[in-house]
Amino acid sequence: MNDRLPRLISGALVVLSSFALWEIIQIKGAALIQQPSLASAAAVCCLIAVFLGIAGFLAPHRYWENVLRQWSDLYTNFSRPAQPAHHWLGSVLLSFSMIIYFVVMMKMIPLQPSPENNDQGAFLAQAQAVQTSGGPTVLIRQLVSGTYQEANQHPLYVALLSYFPDYESGKRLSAIFGLSALLLFSMGITRQYGTLVGGLTGFFISVNAAYCQLTGRVVCEGLLLFFLAGLWLIVLRLPDLRSGRLPYLHLMGIGILLGLAWLTKGTALLLILGLGLWYCSYVVNWRQLCARFIRKTTTVDNKVNVKQANTTAVPLKTIFVALTLIIVSFALIAAPLLVRNARVYGSPTFNANSYLMFQDEFTEPHALAKQSTLREAAQAYFKTHSVSEIVKREVKGLLWQVFIFLRSLGPLPFDEGRLFFGLLALPFLVIGLIAETHPARRLYLIWMVLFWVAFAWYLPIAAGERFLMPLLLPALAFISLGIVRVGQLFVQRRTA
């Protein structure tokens, strides 16, 4: 057994936990001891993680050999193919999730912050302007002609909101999108994994604090999550490219949903980039790559692995055709905004908020766009900041993204305490990823890295759960799958 990988992970745990502990101390200071709080508990957890990481890094080889053997056994048990888990309890949970979400929305919608000096007000102002100018059909013509110049809020949600451009109706519209996404996603997960996993997923969504808060506001996340739910369900139905089949209709459906998602919110570009990287990853034999970190391979093993890699690699032509279908379908749907951006701003994927990636604090993005090009803004930023400042910004942001992601997994009615529910859910998320043998799990991990890295850099401008919302639905599905797999394994061992 090769212990290089677990030692590297232990070292990374020490570094990240140390940074997190230092960040908590800087924010809270002596109050950590004088006034014990959740931050104090988090600091203790970070300190424990530091000691565990040091112990893991210095542990003898025989210790890691035993741990890796046990991990291999667990991985084998959880990754075995299993029949969809059907149980009446799952159907009950799925039915109750709709009722719970409806009740929660009835309570939360009146408690939403007023639409003043925030994104809700901006969306309402744009929707009212679109209604005044003639509605969505006129908006399409304005996009193509370049007379509609809003480059922050993307037009699809604005167009739908223009039919009901007032605050109360806008909140209800977002809640309808949230309910539709919940139904579509949980029923699709039920079809894929069985009623138990689908029911748990629906229940977790209906009580999730981040989901309920954002789908009760006049913002585009509810609509984005609806498209993301459809996108993920199509991805789960995709056959592995190594099977030799090219699912043309599925690929076109992915492109269409990506186009609709990008018309809703600019961060959908990260989804597109992740899909591109996912398809390109098919040229790598991941089993062989992972085996190099776990086992001490011999020359004979290497020859066998190289042969297997050659037989399982997907031809570049197949990958090119698949990506072409997705990109063409995306471009056809997103054409009005692509044309507007190219004509007015010189870049098909232009977004004013991109300028904020090269600022140390919030500045009006449209004003920045008038002062310089995005490339010039980037060059100016890197000339005026040292390497240590750049690294510190990214590392600090990554620590916050981990915190925000774990907190986003927690339920109502908790606030910062949701972090500890996220920590409890984390092992089941890992088990769910192991249990999912479809390549979709690799896509999810790619998306997670892209979103964490991108919005870690964005931290000085803004931070919040809304930026990581595209990761939420698949994460809750994986957690549900992990819980069910643990239950199945427990029952099997009791009856054996």
- Looking at 349, 366, 394, the residue that finishes a domain is 349
Q: Encode 423-454: b = buried (16+ Cβ within 10 Å), e = exposed.
A: eebbebbebbbbbbeebbbbbbebbbebbbeb
pLDDT for residue 305: 43
Does 314 fall in a domain? yes
Does 280 fall in a domain? yes
pLDDT for residue 275: 93
pLDDT for residue 396: 86
455, 463 Cβ separation under 8 angstroms = yes
pLDDT bin (cut points 50, 70, 90) of residue 310 is very low
Q: How far apart are CA 7 and CA 288, in angstroms?
A: 20
pLDDT for 122-152, tens place per residue?
A: 999 999 999 999 899 999 999 999 888 888 8
Tokens coding 39: 């931050």
pLDDT for residue 290: 60
Does 52 fall in a domain? yes
419, 465 Cβ separation under 8 angstroms = no
- Looking at 316, 349, 382, the residue that finishes a domain is 349
pLDDT for residue 408: 93
pLDDT for residue 242: 72
pTM: 0.89
pLDDT for residue 292: 59
Q: Which residues contact 213 (CB under 8 A, 6 or more apart)?
A: 108, 112, 465
Listing DSSP states for 88-154 in one string gives HHHHHHHHHHHHHHHHHHHHHGGGSPPSSSSHHHHHHHHHHHHHHHT-HHHHHHHHHHT-----SS-
400, 455 Cβ separation under 8 angstroms = no
Question: How many domains is the chain built from?
Answer: 2
258, 268 Cβ separation under 8 angstroms = yes
What ranges in 30-83 are assigned the alpha helix state H? Answer: 31-34, 38-58, 61-79
Amino acid at 113: P
Q: Quick one: which H or E segment has residue 308?
A: helix 299-312
pLDDT for 84-95, tens place per residue?
A: 788 888 889 998
pLDDT for 420-460, tens place per residue?
A: 899 899 999 999 999 887 888 899 999 999 999 999 999 88
Q: Encode 213-227: b = buried (16+ Cβ within 10 Å), e = exposed.
A: bbbbbbbbbbbbbbb
Which one has a higher pLDDT value, 369 or 177? 177
Does 320 fall in a domain? yes
Cis upstream peptide for 470 (omega within 30°): no
Does 231 fall in a domain? no
- Mean per-residue pLDDT for 399-404? 89
Q: Please check the confidence at residue 298 and state whether its pLDDT lies above 50.
A: no
pLDDT above 70 covers a percentage of the chain that reads 93
pLDDT for 206-253, tens place per residue?
A: 999 999 999 999 999 999 999 999 999 999 998 877 776 788 899 999
pLDDT bin (cut points 50, 70, 90) of residue 307 is very low
- Looking at 326, 349, 372, the residue that finishes a domain is 349
Does 32 fall in a domain? yes
Does 27 fall in a domain? yes
Which one has a higher pLDDT value, 228 or 41? 228
Does 317 fall in a domain? yes
pLDDT for 98-109, tens place per residue?
A: 999 999 999 999
Across 15-24, 42-51, 279-288, 300-309, least confident range: 300-309
| Residue among 221, 116, 227 at smallest CA distance from 464 | 221
pLDDT bin (cut points 50, 70, 90) of residue 287 is low
pLDDT for 193-206, tens place per residue?
A: 999 999 999 999 99
pLDDT above 90 covers a percentage of the chain that reads 44
Q: Encode 66-95: b = buried (16+ Cβ within 10 Å), e = exposed.
A: eebeeeeeeeeebeeebeebeeeebeebbe
pLDDT for residue 314: 75
Please state, rounded to an integer, the average pLDDT across all residues of the chain. 86
| Residue among 135, 164, 166 at smallest CA distance from 148 | 135
Q: How far apart are CA 194 and CA 53, in angstroms?
A: 38
Q: Which residues contact 140 (CB under 8 A, 6 or more apart)?
A: 336
Domain range for 23 is 1-79
pLDDT bin (cut points 50, 70, 90) of residue 301 is very low
pLDDT for 114-125, tens place per residue?
A: 888 788 999 999
3-state secondary structure of 238: coil
207, 194 Cβ separation under 8 angstroms = no
Listing DSSP states for 362-427 in one string gives ---HHHHHHHS-HHHHHHHHHHHS-HHHHHHHHHHHHHHHHHHHHHHTPBTT-STTHHHHHHHHHH
